[in-house]
Amino acid sequence: MSVAPRPVRKTVKDYIRSIPDFPHEGIIFRDVTTLFADARGFRMAVDQLLAPYAGMRIDKVVGLEARGFILGGAVAHQLSTGFVPIRKRGKLPGAVLSQAYSLEYGEAVMEIHDNAIAPGERVLIVDDLLATGGTAEAGITLCRRLGAEVVGTAFVVDLPELGGRRVLEAAGVDVHVLCEFEGD
């Protein structure tokens, strides 16, 4: 009698496609759209992103443009809480707060509606990838400017060599990541 082999259990990292030389030569792009396209992978990622925060009071989940909208919306749904987008400059109608941050070659600006979070609300910031930490740090600053308490940040991928975790931890924020890719 033969025994069927056990199925190999995938991790979140197994669903992420690596694309060499995109968007520039020497860069390996970590593509989470393959994770989103697989029902099991996507569910696994959402469940793991919210796991450390389950049972905590979270008033809003904040998603960073653009893949943070996909993940953040799903996490907010699972936590039965509201969702707030932080967008690139000029994408939100109405009154906004703006925060500039540094990029590798220049500067960018993120914005949030000026009434999206009430003072004292507890927020979780979600995005797909943590690299240098600049975008997430701008998001933390915007939330704090509105009087929010940032209870944590959650990312699918960390690129540890770029130092983003250190930046966010220096800002006094918990960092939760599902997987790491070295050498990026």
Which residues are tagged catalytic?
Answer: 67, 104
CA distance 22 to 61: 30
- E-assigned strand segments in 46-89: 60-64, 82-88
Q: Which of 117, 113, 119 is nearest to 92 (CA)?
A: 113
CB count within 10 Å of CB 107 equals 9
> Comparing C-alpha atoms, which of 89, 111, 85, 107 is closest to residue 98?
111
**Cα–Cα distances in Å, from 99 out to 46, 96, 120, 131, 161?**
27, 10, 20, 18, 25
Helix (H, G, I), strand (E, B) or coil at 113: strand
Are 161 and 127 in contact, with CB atoms under 8 Å apart?
A: no
